[in-house]
Structure 1
Amino acid sequence: MSINTRCASCSQTSLLYLVDLPSRVLSNTLQATSPSQIPDGSGALWNILTRRVEDYNFKTIRLDAAHQGLVDASTSEDTYEPPQAAATHQAKDQAKIRRRYRHEGRDTFAALLAPGPAEPFRLLSHAISLSPVSNSVTLLGVHQNRSKNLIVSLPHGTSDAHVDAITTVIHSTFTPLCSFPLSVTCDVAWTKLMVSSVPTRPKPGDPTYSEEEVRSSFLLNPAVKALSIMRNPRWIRNPASITGAHSSFTFSFQDPDGSIGRALAKSRLFVFGKPVHLKRWTDKPRRTRDIPQA
């Protein structure tokens, strides 16, 4: 479950609240979290988390710093992303924050972060301790990621009632320091699949099918039509450079526990009248150059 905040004046989303983060993406979150942002006295917990990442989960709250909002499946432009650029979205896709954000170089958390990067954690920790409803909740950390969003981490197993209480505290603590009012909605985890053996054009010499045409044909499958698609089909290559008769595309959809993706990968689906194959998308690791020996 996650919580998005939406600007009351322009109806654009500005906060994402993630909870029950899958263990397979915990490592990505830990990489973005500094030990200095873990509460005092919790260094041992940090070491345990980093050593046994598969055995621990924690809940997170994401505050989007860009006052541009989420672009969901119904309104996203789904522009082509080269594989290398798409790889930069790996952590977000795995963490099921499956929507693209637009930034205009404005950091709406600038005032909040002005005293230092640890200020959000200090403010929220103090506010939580003063709340009779949430003072029993342990705040693991608050940090700003590369997308200028704030990530608030809570222990796995935090009850829904405490999550709601923390949400109220976040509103009262951070809203006065933000340039937009906040409202709350829910979100869930995503799965990203690759669909291969997809026809690229009606006949040789014709233009490559547009991604909208791919989407329309793909949605004719009842199993796909029933999905909550969060990122529409996108060719894995630049459409202008696709010369072969077949290629592949990726898409993302809501999948709280991953079971929908596993079942869908075994289904027999069609695109433009031809059978296609599905498998979970895996980003290729970046290549590193060999370091010259002395």
Structure 2
Amino acid sequence: MPTSLFSTLSAYRDLVVNLSARELKGRYSGTVLGFFWSILNPLFMAIIYMVFLRLLIGRGVPTEDILIGVFAWQYTGQAVFGGQNCISGNANLVKKVSFPRVLLPMSFTAGNLIHFLLTLGVQLVLLTGILLWKGSMLSMWVVLLPLLVAYHSLFNLALTFLVSTSHVYFRDTNHIVSIAMSAWFFMTPVMYNLSFIDRFMERAPWAWNLYLLNPMAGIVTAYRALQIPESTFPWSWPMVVGLALPIPLLIISYRLFQRYQKYFSDLV
């Protein structure tokens, strides 16, 4: 699978670049603030949840943890919600132009990656300011951040393959995804860190292990471990298994996409 996927990408790289550029240009077309909405949305979410956690629960989560969690989650959220339409939203191309359909989710993911890298730069500036204000600085492990972003992107590509294929065949997919993403959000340490909930898991270790099998739990925690010097990554077996799940998911989702893509032009 990886060989055919990357060979297709190499052979049609110019088309991928053009499709990615079109996706980026159209994302905030006609808006006043444009790209700044990508920064304002997660910032507003972070502020709201910081206040919510302090008022309702009385226990604060560090600002830097929430900031990192929100930006990482937004990257996957955009991949899932936007990825649903990367086939059905390009009906003219699918019906009239002959090209590998796999390029559509790949170009969407590439455009989403470029967008995330821009927002990540802003996040790093904000994070550096917060840490300096607290008398600290970025972790030396931040140099490994590109590897984590690449791995996170492969996970997002796998999700885009799944939701784009499903949306062509089942138009109720957007409603199902909306519900699933809401549940997934609260089951992922986005607005809190693992230490915030570990005390709730002491009486049910099986629930804790099940929770850590969530790939996004490992990805978000890894972002924090690479950027915050006081943050650590829990190398337990469920966390490692959960962090490894994107690889088989990418293989399975790619094969499903290739199997059903021949009927796309008849259904979009």
Name the larger-Rg structure.
1
Determine which structure has the larger helix proportion and give its number: 2
Q: Say which structure, 1 or 2, has more relative contact order (CA 8 Å, 6+ apart).
A: 2
Determine which structure has the larger strand proportion and give its number: 1
TM exceeding 0.5: no
> Which of the five TM-score ranges fits, normalised by the shorter chain?
under 0.3
